[in-house]
Amino acid sequence: MSPKCYYKRAKGPSGKEISDQAVIAVIKTLQKEFGDSLGYRKMQDRLEEDYGLKLSRRKVLSLMQESKQLSSVRRRLHSEEYYVKRREMKGNAPPDLIGRDFFSLEPFRRFVCDITYLTGCDETWYLSMIEDLFNGEIVGWKIGEHCTAQLCMETVMMMAQLVGDKTEGAILHSDGGSTYISYEYRELLASLGIRQSMGIKLTCYDNARIESLNGVLKTECLYARFGKTKVKDRRIPVRDLASRVEEFIPYYNEKRKKDSLNASPVQFRMNNSRGTYLEVIQEKV
């Protein structure tokens, strides 16, 4: 398939150039149709998809400015200093210390974390979880109405209560989401001696282990109780979803047998409290 070509002057489906005034007339028609809500990027898409007109975004912007057809610009939620700070945080994001090696020989040393949606018929809540790579145990979890750094910090504190002083030198891996980049979150990890690890944003393979856990949660916890169709079609109140998750996680940790462990996560940890390192036995000569 040949790449798309865009032009400084509009060209129609037949390849003939279209005058600027003709394009402006189309732009006015589209803005009227969409309630003056189209920015120049979406306007370019509509010109091509609805009218077969191909021209560059810069040209679309110029014509919209000339004809006073620019949409109302949404006000920024924060000051310029805030956005500068956000860019700085992204610029010095932590390295990936896991490298898709989702394995640990010792409990409480290597963790992965993620946030998944609980979407009901009324609203969406967020489930933040931390999983131990040693045995798949959910060592920290919180449900919140908002996806914030505070939700992630509360999850870390729950993990810290279980792990105790073993947080020193442990690795906690996440995706590149903004909640995990925040200075408050990073300062909390540093205060606990936790080494932060981060994969690339929107790259699921960099955090595949806990993505798999999310799948188990949805299938065995939600679909099994309410039915897959009802959950996916958002026909269950979010409080019912959250209540079911709160019931399921202790069962998952303490009673659900994992085939790879031949025990539940907690049972496996209790039976292997020092880890699963190979021991070398030397015979006396």
DSSP string covering 16-44:
-B--HHHHHHHHHHHHHHTTT---HHHHH
The helix (H) or strand (E) run that includes residue 77 is none
Q: Does residue 21 sit in the same domain as residue 127?
A: no
Which range, of 13-27, 74-88, 201-215, 266-280, averages the lowest pLDDT? Answer: 74-88
Confidence check: pLDDT of 218 > 90: yes
pLDDT band at 285 (very low <50, low <70, confident <90, very high): very low
- Average pLDDT (91-117) is 91
Confidence check: pLDDT of 77 > 80: no
Give domain status of residue 153, yes or no.
Answer: yes
Pair of tokens at residue 42? 């979406």
Q: What are phi and psi of 86, to 5 degrees?
A: -65, -40
Confidence check: pLDDT of 136 > 70: yes
Give domain status of residue 83, yes or no.
Answer: no
CATH code: domain of residue 195: 3.30.420.10
Confidence check: pLDDT of 284 > 80: no
Give domain status of residue 82, yes or no.
Answer: no
DSSP characters over 185-237:
HHHHHHHTTPEEEE--TT-GGGGHHHHHHHHHIIIIIIIHHH-HHHHHTT-S-
Q: Is 64 exposed, middle or buried (0-12, 13-18, 19+ CB in 10 A)?
A: buried
Give domain status of residue 107, yes or no.
Answer: yes
Q: Residue 166: how many CB atoms within 10 A of its CB?
A: 14
Pair of tokens at residue 260? 């790879």
Residue for token digits 């539940």?
Answer: 264
Q: How many domains does the chain have?
A: 2
Residues 6+ apart with CB under 8 A from 186: 94, 196
Q: Does residue 192 sit in the same domain as residue 125?
A: yes
Q: Does residue 195 sit in the same domain as residue 254?
A: yes
Give domain status of residue 191, yes or no.
Answer: yes
Which range, of 59-73, 126-140, 157-171, 236-250, averages the lowest pLDDT? Answer: 59-73
Confidence check: pLDDT of 256 > 50: yes
Q: Does residue 108 sit in the same domain as residue 239?
A: yes
* Share in percent of the chain as helix, strand, coil (round to 5): 45, 15, 40
Give domain status of residue 280, yes or no.
Answer: no
Q: Is 100 helix (H, G, I), strand (E, B) or coil?
A: coil
Q: Does residue 29 sit in the same domain as residue 103?
A: no
C-alpha torsion 202→81→187→149, nearest 10: -50
Residue type for 108, please?
Answer: F
- Average pLDDT (32-38) is 83
pLDDT band at 75 (very low <50, low <70, confident <90, very high): low
Which range, of 62-66, 99-103, 128-132, 197-201, averages the lowest pLDDT? Answer: 197-201
- Using CA atoms, how far apart are residues 256 and 190, in angstroms rounded to an integer? 33
Confidence check: pLDDT of 259 > 60: yes
**8 A C-beta contact, residue 245 and residue 127:** yes
Q: Does residue 109 sit in the same domain as residue 40?
A: no
Give domain status of residue 284, yes or no.
Answer: no
**8 A C-beta contact, residue 68 and residue 31:** no
C-alpha distances in angstroms, 55 versus 17, 18, 41, 71, 181?
10, 10, 11, 19, 38
In tens, the pLDDT along 177-195 reads: 888 988 899 999 999 999 9
pLDDT band at 49 (very low <50, low <70, confident <90, very high): confident
Pair of tokens at residue 109? 């040393």
Q: Does residue 104 sit in the same domain as residue 222?
A: yes
Confidence check: pLDDT of 240 > 90: yes
Q: What is the pLDDT of residue 16?
A: 74
Q: Does residue 116 sit in the same domain as residue 249?
A: yes
> 121: domain range?
93-271
Q: Does residue 225 sit in the same domain as residue 101?
A: yes
Secondary structure letter of residue 92 according to DSSP = T
Q: Does residue 125 sit in the same domain as residue 194?
A: yes
- Average pLDDT (109-120) is 95
Q: Does residue 120 sit in the same domain as residue 234?
A: yes
Q: Does residue 141 sit in the same domain as residue 60?
A: no
Q: What is the rounded average pLDDT for all residues in the chain?
A: 86
Q: At what angle do helices 149-163 and 183-191 cross, to 10 degrees?
A: 10
Q: What is the pLDDT of residue 34?
A: 83
Give domain status of residue 98, yes or no.
Answer: yes
